[in-house]
Amino acid sequence: MEGYADHAIFHAGSEKLLRAATFHPGGSRPKRTPTIMEGHMRNGICALLAAFALFDAGCSQQSIPSSSAGGPPSQTAMDRDLFEIAIPQLQALYRSHKYTVTEVVRWHLARIGKYNGIYRAVQNVDEPGALSTALREDAEAKVGGNGFTTGPLWGVPIVIKANTSVKGLITTDGWSGYKLPGHELVAPKDATIVAKLRAAGAVILGQTNMPDFAASDTNRSTAYGRTGNAYDVRFSPGGSSGGTVTAVTSNYTVLGSGTDTGNSIRMPASTSSVVGVFPTPGLVSTAGIAPLDWLLDNTGPIARDVTDAAIALSVMAGEDPLDPRTAGSSAKAQPGPYTQYLKADSLKGKRFGVPAFILDGAGIPFQGIPASESDEEVKRQTEASRLPLRPETREAFLKALDGLRAAGAIVVFDGSILPDSFASIVSRIGTVPYIREGTDKFLAEFGPAQYHSVEEYRTAVGSPLPPTIIGGEEWRAVGMPEPPKGSRPILQTVFEKDPQASANVLAPRQRALGVYEETLERMHLDGYVYPATQMPPPDETMPQGGGLSEGPHSLTGWVNMIDVPAVVVPGGFYPGGLPFGLELSARPWRDGDLVGWAYAYEQATHHRRPPVLVEKGLLPDAR
């Protein structure tokens, strides 16, 4: 397992601790720059020393505020109190001084240590950094006393997806090429959402596994290997946020971040009985997140319940000068905090339409089809993207709708609700010509000292970045006589300067959004409801379609393409015990209404149940 080794710091007096935390640039030791691990250790020791200073002389044997007069809590008590805990309950435990942040963080780190070798959800465990933050927060709470006020995520353990910049850690983006010795993509600063989560008091435990560049519906990476589904390790958790959903549902953490370019928060959430929020694009900044396709990328929270997701969304949302899409969002969006929309009766009288094209399996090619493509090519790609709804998923969907109706909602089936023609319109939103621009902008702001652009990476490493994130005809640079089979080499340009930007993206997006909203008006609908996937999670020990598993798959990428919000909530289980997820979508900027609906459905159904994890598996080292 990657990550830092476990470092036990023994109390041997403040003088020895101070000496251990001090480097000697001019003495007998050679001058050098502290490593990330050493930096974390030094921060942790300094926090420890701060804690010592805050205690009375009689408490000198403890480095953090005591959680109870009777000594450290028992493992049985912690397992009972912390398993499946939600943020409000965790904060109540802190207020009652039952547990310290350090004790809670250590409990979650222990679960990662116990199970991560089987499920491989966390790619990099930052134990030194997590414990350093926990010690600091405990020390601050001691100083603050009864008047101490905390942020909304104070003391909450979280995980961050590996394509999201965490200062001092490697942003692998799931790809081994960003881990090359001497050329690592070490984040110079936090992504905007990471900075916001830290400021709210969250404790980052580590970075979660993901497929290379987030470009797969399964969770297999060259940087770390395969993540298994927590409900059965043989099966897929989906991608590309499969590491985060597995960590959250397995109680490695309280919540985590995900990213979504075509379904990558929502589809994995559905496989793992967790809540995944896809905010209206522009509500939450994506600055500092390595892009797959910046015109489609989004980020949002993944949690075990809607309340925790709403708390996290409230922290993550807001305008950011580093992300132009967020400009003016505060004036357009429903105001936070999003917990104010969580009402058990919010579904009463609401009408939801079922998109006909999803039931029919009409295809929408990922990243769409640019205007320059021929009608013949459009037909070929659309047909290749067809994805029938599996009978067992249709059955699970219809059963999940019973819960929606029980909560007071009306479900409308009608062939005119987003028919196949809608899928055809969405398919013409073609973003491929602009993907290199996103990678260049990310590296310029969040790349390491060695390279701040696509070209600088090539110069530094001696080989180009893959076409997946820079497009164009880069296959020529590696000596291939023609593009890889199935690829669409399209010359890259800058979106803001491209005369075809309207024809490729803006005009078809506006047209598709117009159909989406016109249908809501015509059918008197409040939103849409549909299965988050077209199939159950596949068994990855068996061939799928004659080859290696690449699924499960969905037909929900249109949400990214037309800029509307969506949420997935646990919708029940298949007969074999794997989860099914129900997806809801709403009008742009109605994110408060959306989480309110999800909450009402959750409270009416209580579908979630945690997985039973194993310590030995069939595929401990599957890659």
CA 159 to CA 3: how far, in whole Å?
13
Sign of the alpha-carbon torsion through 458, 462, 465, 466: positive
- Are both 360 and 490 inside the same structural domain? no
Does residue 325 lie within any of the structural domains? no
Which of 284, 221, 492 is CA-nearest to residue 370? 492
Give yes or no: residues 551 and 440 share one domain: no
55 and 69 assigned to the same domain:
yes
Of 213, 211, 220, 242, the closest CA to residue 229 belongs to 242
- Tell me, yes or no, whether 4 and 126 share the same domain: yes
215 in a domain, yes or no? no
Q: Which of 507, 408, 461 is nearest to 184 (CA)?
A: 461
Task: Report the C-alpha gap between 559 and 278 in whole angstroms.
Answer: 9
User: Among the three residues 104, 127, 150, which one is the final residue of a domain in this structure?
Assistant: 150
> Are 454 and 516 found together in one domain?
no
Query: What pLDDT was estimated at residue 617?
Result: 67
Residue 277 lies in a domain: no
Residue 161 belongs to a domain: no
The answer to whether the beta carbons of residues 581 and 349 sit under 8 Å apart is no
Q: Each residue of 533-592: pLDDT tens digit? A: 999 999 999 988 888 888 899 999 999 999 999 999 999 999 999 999 999 999 999 999
Same domain, yes or no: 135 and 17: yes
Task: Tell me, yes or no, whether 365 and 404 share the same domain.
Answer: yes
Plot region of 512 (φ>0 → left; ψ -120 to 50 → alpha; else → beta): alpha
Residue 524 and residue 421 share a domain: yes
Give per-residue pLDDT as tens, 345-399.
999 999 999 999 999 999 999 999 999 998 888 889 999 999 999 999 999 999 9
Asked if 460 and 450 count as a contact pair (C-beta separation under 8 A), the reply is yes
Instruction: Indicate the number of domains in the chain.
Output: 3
Q: Supply the angle between the helices 435-446 and 454-461 in degrees, to the nearest 10.
A: 70
Asked if 490 and 380 sit in the same domain, the reply is no
CA distance 140 to 175: 38
Q: Domain ends where: 497, 514, 540?
A: 497
Structural domain includes residue 446: yes
Same-domain pairing of 2 and 70: yes
Q: Evaluate if residue 122 carries a pLDDT over 90.
A: yes
Percent of the chain with pLDDT over 70: 85
Q: Can you give the residue range of the structural domain that contains 493?
A: 433-497
The catalytic residue positions are 161, 240, 264
Query: 246 in a domain, yes or no?
Result: no
Does residue 176 form part of some domain? no
- pTM for the model: 0.88
Mean pLDDT calculated for residue range 518-524: 98
Q: In this structure, are 4 and 133 located in the same domain?
A: yes
Above 80 in pLDDT, residue 299? yes
Rounded Cα gap, residues 48 and 145, in angstroms:
18
In a domain, 195, yes or no: no
Rounded to the nearest integer, the mean pLDDT of the chain is: 89
Domain-ending residue, one of 129, 150, 171: 150
User: 365 with 485, same domain?
Assistant: no
Which residues, in sequence order, are CB contacts of 459 under 8 Å at separation 6+? 451
